[in-house]
């Protein structure tokens, strides 16, 4: 094993991986999110990765370096909090929490896989914890804190707004209410001013059109037509699903515990943060309650003294330790998954792995070979010979078959790219793919569709620039395929069939003069 890996094994979520690579390449080549391609992820969600691609790193190395860059950016605020608020033991614990969140190589959720999926959620949680720690723990740094604290909160909120809006939106009112409840009016004003200054700089550098386009992308996803109202459990499931009950108990129990043991302020804080944590968990794939990490830290730092009145027949401090232990037990799968991801990657076996077929300058990513290799037949998908009778959609009289890729997505896309090179003269042509991802161009000689989607949200992104329309016989997301076909048919443009096979149907888009 070398200190810097020349190849990186990915074992899960290749769709999210390709989404990251697609957006990163676009930015590295000068495109801007929202202006040049539709995405609800903010510019800071892709910028660190795109920076290292532009500097010449391969895809896997760029992803690792992006993690390290975010960690380094957050290090000064983490150090400040550790020295101005915490005991040495708590400072090390908080620092470890931030480092693990920013540098992990898995999304969490107790997974033992390796991957870069939903990495921006980890970054956003780290920023959220820094903001909350700045706000909720009293500083001992005197006058310096009067200027540093609003800087951290204002910059942190701006980072969230430009990374993942589903963190920023619920956190803003909670932070303001807590500041007002603590009568920290000066902190509130200076934090808002700092955030507003960052917003003004963004407008000056990127233009008001960037902000409007970002807002439009967010409204598109939030409108209910994007097919992604929530990516996992609904609100009731986030609260009451068996896998979430212990986390819900800790969240509500901590508020009751603090209030009943005389820590009224801490109890109010937990009541205010409860809907924030629930909403963020609801809006992010996997519904992983990473807020447990901070709640554990907050309870441990605010344990009642030995003379506090008992609650439920138990000394208050002992009850707090019990609650912390329950929270830690609930958080262990996610934290262990994050903590162990880097060693798992460093010592991963490549015995049955194959390189993902990306352009040579990017190709340092490997996956299990059955998900990458293309043999005499396309593997890893279910082919149903009968059309889906519940939603028959036709193109020139041909109905879409009910077929979803269950595995081997890279193998399927690579097979399509190879077939287009061998059977169709599409070199340099802009081909729009009817699926949730449009990444055939990464593995073949077709061109990227100008303005095309990096993740399809049931809109018409890329339609105007596309020269050809490719409908795969099997799709990673059949609903996305059907939505794009419907939207394409509604344009009124003619679709001239030019090629068909067991993998795909290819149409030339003919627009009326």
Q: How many CB atoms lie within 10 A of CB 89?
A: 9
Report the interhelical angle of 14-28 vs 59-84 (nearest 10°): 90
317 plus 445 within the same structural domain: no
Radius of gyration of the chain from Cα atoms? Answer: 25
Closest alpha carbon to 453 in 420, 443, 464, 444 = 464
Q: How many domains is the chain built from?
A: 2
Helix, strand, coil % over all residues of the chain, rounded to 5: 55, 10, 35
CA 466 to chain centre: 28
User: Is 355 a member of any domain?
Assistant: no
If you count them, how many residues does the chain have? 513
The predicted-structure confidence for 267-297, as pLDDT tens digits, reads as follows 999 999 999 999 999 988 878 899 999 999 9
Instruction: Please provide residue 33's backbone torsions phi and psi, each rounded to the nearest 5 degrees.
Output: -60, 150
* CA–CA gap between residue 12 and residue 47 (Å, rounded): 23
The answer, yes or no, to whether residue 125 has pLDDT greater than 60, is yes
Last residue of a domain, one of 285, 315, 346: 346
| Same domain assignment for residues 195 and 267 | yes
Distance, in Å, from the CA atom of 244 to the CA atom of 445, rounded to the nearest integer, reads 46
Same domain flag for 326 and 379 = no
The average pLDDT across 383-406 equals 69
Q: Are residues 170 and 253 in the same domain?
A: yes
Mind giving me the DSSP string for 417-455?
HHHHHHHS--TT-BEEESSS---HHHHSSSBPPTT--SS
Secondary structure (H, E, C), 161-179: HCCCHHHHHHHHHHHHHHH
Cα torsion 455, 460, 463, 464: sign:
negative
* Distance separating alpha carbons of residues 506 and 379, to the nearest angstrom: 21
Helix 185-206, helix 143-161: angle, nearest 10 = 40
> What span, in angstroms and rounded, lies between the C-alpha atoms of 69 and 74?
9
Check residue 307 and give its pLDDT.
74
- The answer to whether residue 353 is domain-embedded is no
Q: Is the pLDDT of residue 355 over 80?
A: yes
Band of pLDDT at residue 190, cut at 50, 70 and 90: very high
Task: Please tell me what DSSP assigns to residue 22.
Answer: H
Statement to judge: residues 451 and 327 lie in one domain = no
Q: Is residue 362 part of a domain?
A: no
What secondary structure letter does DSSP report for 463?
A: T
Relative orientation angle of helices 291-301 and 245-260, to the nearest 10 degrees: 30
Same domain, 145 and 60: yes
Task: Answer yes or no: is 484 within a domain.
Answer: yes
- pLDDT for the residue 386: 45
Nearest Cα neighbor of 362 from 79, 2, 28, 122 is 28
Residues 269 and 384 in one domain: no
What CA–CA distance (Å, rounded) separates 199 from 219?
A: 19
CB 261 within 8 A of CB 81: no
Residue 44 lies in a domain: yes
Q: What is the mean pLDDT of residues 340-346?
A: 90
Residue-number span of the structural domain to which 194 is assigned: 8-346
Average pLDDT over residues 183-200: 95
Between CA 233 and CA 291 the distance in angstroms is 17
- Find the DSSP H helices in 182-284: 185-206, 208-222, 235-240, 245-260, 264-283
Dihedral angle at the C-alpha atoms of 411, 412, 415, 421, nearest 10 degrees? -120
pLDDT at 389 over 70: no
Q: Among 109, 113, 100, which Cα is nearest to 10's?
A: 113
Q: What is the mean pLDDT of residues 104-110?
A: 87
Residue 354 in this model has a pLDDT that exceeds 80: yes
Q: Determine how β-strand 468-472 pairs with β-strand 431-433.
A: parallel
CB proximity list for 375: less than 8 A, separation 6 or greater: none
On whether both 121 and 180 belong to a single domain, the answer is yes
Residue 361 lies in a domain: no
| CB contact set of 405 (below 8 Å; sequence gap of 6+) | 380, 381, 382, 412, 474, 475, 476
Q: Lowest-confidence range among 79-93, 385-399, 436-450, 495-509?
A: 385-399
Q: Across residues 170-176, what is the average pLDDT?
A: 97
Q: At what angle do helices 291-301 and 119-136 cross, to 10 degrees?
A: 20
Give the residue-averaged pLDDT of 378-402.
Answer: 63
Q: Cα separation of 176 and 180, whole Å?
A: 6
Is 496 part of a structural domain of the chain?
yes
In this structure, the number of other CB atoms found within 10 A of the CB of residue 222 comes to 15
Judge if 409 and 285 occupy the same domain.
Answer: no
Q: Is residue 194 part of a domain?
A: yes
The pLDDT tens digits of the residues spanning 129-147 come to 999 999 999 988 677 788 9
Query: Any idea which of 37-51, 258-272, 389-403 has the lowest mean pLDDT?
Result: 389-403
Poorest-confidence range of 39-43, 226-230, 356-360, 499-503? 226-230
**324 and 411: one domain?**
no
User: Does position 373 have pLDDT exceeding 90, yes or no?
Assistant: no
User: Chain-wide mean pLDDT for the chain?
Assistant: 89
| 228 pLDDT above the threshold of 70 | no
Pair (268, 415) in one structural domain: no
Percent of the chain with pLDDT over 90: 65
- Is residue 111 located within the same domain as residue 196? yes
Give 481 or 145, the one with higher predicted confidence: 481
């Amino acid at each position: 094993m070398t200190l810097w890996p020349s190849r990186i094994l990915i074992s899960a979520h290749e769709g999210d991986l390709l989404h990251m690579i697609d957006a990163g390449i676009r930015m590295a080549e000068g495109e801007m999110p929202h202006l040049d391609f539709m995405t609800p992820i903010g510019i800071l969600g892709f910028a660190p990765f795109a920076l290292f691609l532009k500097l010449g790193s391969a895809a896997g190395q760029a992803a690792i370096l992006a993690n390290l860059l975010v960690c380094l950016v957050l290090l000064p605020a983490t150090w400040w909090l550790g020295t101005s608020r915490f005991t040495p033991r708590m400072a090390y614990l908080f620092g470890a929490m931030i480092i693990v969140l920013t540098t992990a190589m898995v999304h969490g959720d107790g997974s033992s896989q390796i991957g870069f999926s939903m990495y921006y959620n980890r970054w956003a949680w780290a920023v959220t914890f820094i903001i909350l720690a700045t706000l909720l723990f009293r500083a001992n740094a005197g006058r310096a804190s009067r200027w540093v604290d609003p800087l951290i909160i204002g910059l942190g909120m701006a980072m969230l707004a430009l990374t993942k809006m589903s963190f920023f939106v619920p956190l803003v009112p909670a932070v303001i209410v807590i500041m007002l409840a603590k009568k920290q009016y000066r902190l509130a004003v200076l934090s808002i001013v700092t955030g507003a200054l960052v917003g003004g700089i963004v407008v000056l550098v990127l233009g008001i059109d960037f902000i409007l386009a970002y807002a439009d992308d967010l409204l598109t996803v939030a409108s209910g037509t994007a097919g992604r109202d929530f990516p996992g459990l609904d609100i009731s499931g986030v609260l009451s699903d068996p896998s979430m009950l212990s986390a819900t108990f800790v969240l509500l129990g901590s508020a009751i515990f603090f209030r009943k043991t005389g820590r009224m302020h801490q109890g109010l804080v937990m009541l205010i943060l409860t809907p924030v944590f629930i909403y963020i968990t609801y809006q992010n794939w996997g519904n992983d309650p990473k807020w447990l990490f901070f709640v554990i830290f907050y309870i441990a730092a605010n344990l009642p003294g030995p003379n506090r009145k008992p609650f439920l027949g138990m000394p208050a401090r002992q009850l707090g330790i019990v609650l912390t232990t329950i929270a830690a037990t609930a958080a262990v799968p996610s934290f262990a998954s994050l903590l162990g991801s880097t060693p798992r990657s460093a010592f991963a076996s490549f015995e049955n792995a194959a390189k993902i077929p990306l352009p040579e300058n990017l190709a340092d990513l490997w996956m299990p070979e059955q998900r990458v290799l293309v043999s005499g037949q396309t593997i890893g998908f279910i082919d149903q010979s009968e059309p889906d009778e519940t939603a028959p959609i036709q193109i020139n009289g041909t109905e879409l078959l009910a077929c979803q890729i269950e595995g081997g997505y890279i193998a399927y896309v690579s097979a399509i790219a190879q077939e287009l090179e061998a059977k169709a003269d599409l070199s340099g042509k802009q081909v729009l793919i009817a699926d949730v991802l449009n990444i055939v161009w990464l593995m073949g000689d077709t061109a990227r569709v100008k303005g095309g989607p990096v993740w399809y949200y049931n809109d018409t992104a890329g339609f105007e620039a596309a020269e050809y329309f490719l409908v795969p016989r099997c799709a990673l997301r059949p609903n996305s395929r059907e939505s794009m076909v419907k939207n394409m048919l509604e344009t009124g443009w003619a679709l001239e069939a030019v090629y068909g096979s067991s993998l795909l149907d290819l149409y030339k888009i003919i627009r009326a003069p």
